[in-house]
Amino acid sequence: MNYGPLVFLAAFLALSGSWVGFVVAPNFQLSTLQETNTIGAGVTYPLGRPGLAQQGLQVYRANGCVSCHSQMVVQERTMCEVSLTDFGTNFVAVESALRGINSNYNAQVINELKKSLPKTIVFDTTKQKADATVKLINQAGAKAQVVVTPSGSDIARGWGRRRSVAEDYLYDDPVMLGGLRVGPDLANLGSRLPDVNWHLRHLYAPQTEIANSTMPPYRFLFETRKIGSVPVAEPLNLPSGLVPTGYEVVPKPEAVALAQYLVSLRADVQLYSTPFSTPPAASGSGSGISSNAPAVK
């Protein structure tokens, strides 16, 4: 029997199937991606990186930083908490509402609670249960609000406030996702380390900034010059002993661009696809914006 047509058909289906899966479907999902609105602030996100930071992306790429650093925060789930912001005047009604939520609330605990508002009264629950609790509290004449917090091990490490989404990379070419994490994730680096000079010193000699750092130094991005030879340069403020006396270390333009790129890595705004809310301020002003956040699964 002639199997030719059958083999052809099988190969055709396998190849066209993977083409649809890997090319057509992602193109359909992502090609129309645009700047989007942020929750609360209402500004558009992302705005392109400034020129120098854009050049810094190429320095990042050329020096293989991506082989040790990823740029994607993974979020495992969202947690909802209920924060009591205002006790109101009806002590008895609020007390019985609180007891309905948690049988451990006795008069003494409630009195303590009343003095230290805002206070989280329900931890790690679902959106439905949190909403129901808020309703119960509000009916008793007090005020409470839902606080939505993304959680997961990357977020616990302080690498980001929310998961990374495709919009975060809209203006990056190429996207430096990375796959290996020898060093920390850098997706939201600019929020935790916004000082350009810190990055320059860290690139020149990582151990001056992080004790026992195993990150390789990038000294070829700097020049060691005799002091006074070029008066315009701004030298790095390094600990003594690293540079011979009479000399100074000056970042080359590549190092400056790279540092600008590093501080431009910020993915900390709240989007409709990644809601989180700001916990109420200690003054009890209730600055949380969770009521704007869409329902969370």
CA pair distance 177, 212, nearest whole angstrom: 26
- Cβ within 8 Å of residue 73, ≥6 positions away: 154, 155, 159, 160, 162, 163, 164, 185, 187, 188, 267
Q: Report whether 203 contacts 282 (CB < 8 A).
A: no
Nearer Cβ to ligand HEC, position 77 or 219? 219
Residues 153-182 close enough to bind ligand HEC by CB under 6 A: 182
* Greatest CA separation for the chain: 89
- Supply the minimum distance, in Å, between the C-beta of residue 294 and ligand HEC: 31
Residue 213 found at the interface with ligand HEC (CB under 6 A): yes
Among 39, 53, 55, 60, binds ligand HEC (CB under 6 A): 60
- Cβ within 8 Å of residue 246, ≥6 positions away: 226, 227
Q: Report whether 173 contacts 207 (CB < 8 A).
A: no
Residues 180-199 close enough to bind ligand HEC by CB under 6 A: 182-184, 189, 199
Among 45, 169, 204, 218, binds ligand HEC (CB under 6 A): 218
Among 26, 216, 239, 294, binds ligand HEC (CB under 6 A): 216
Count of alpha carbons within 13 angstroms of residue 205, beta-carbon side: 12
Which of these ranges, 98-106, 118-126, 215-223, 277-285, lies near ligand HEC under the rule CB under 6 A? 215-223
- Supply the minimum distance, in Å, between the C-beta of residue 150 and ligand HEC: 18
Binding mask 252-291 for ligand HEC (x = CB under 6 A): ------x---x-----------------------------
Among 206, 251, 275, 288, binds ligand HEC (CB under 6 A): 206
Residue 62 found at the interface with ligand HEC (CB under 6 A): no
Instruction: Identify the burial level of 134 via C-beta atoms within 10 angstroms of its C-beta, where 0-12 means exposed, 13-18 middle and 19 or more buried.
Output: buried
Could you tell me the end-to-end alpha-carbon distance of the chain, in angstroms, rounded to an integer?
55
Residue 67 found at the interface with ligand HEC (CB under 6 A): yes
Which of these ranges, 57-65, 74-82, 97-105, 271-279, lies near ligand HEC under the rule CB under 6 A? 57-65
Residue 64 found at the interface with ligand HEC (CB under 6 A): yes
Residue 30 found at the interface with ligand HEC (CB under 6 A): no
Residue recorded with tokens 């661009």 = 257
Nearer Cβ to ligand HEC, position 61 or 114? 61
Give 138-142 contacts, CB < 8 A, sequence gap 24+. 139/97, 140/88, 140/90, 140/93, 140/94, 140/96, 140/97, 141/88, 141/89, 141/90, 141/93, 141/94, 142/84, 142/86, 142/87, 142/88, 142/90, 142/94, 142/97
Residue 210 found at the interface with ligand HEC (CB under 6 A): yes
Nearer Cβ to ligand HEC, position 69 or 143? 69
- Supply the minimum distance, in Å, between the C-beta of residue 38 and ligand HEC: 24
**Applying CB under 6 A, which residues contact ligand HEC?**
60, 63-65, 67-69, 182-184, 189, 199, 202, 206, 210, 213-216, 218, 258, 262
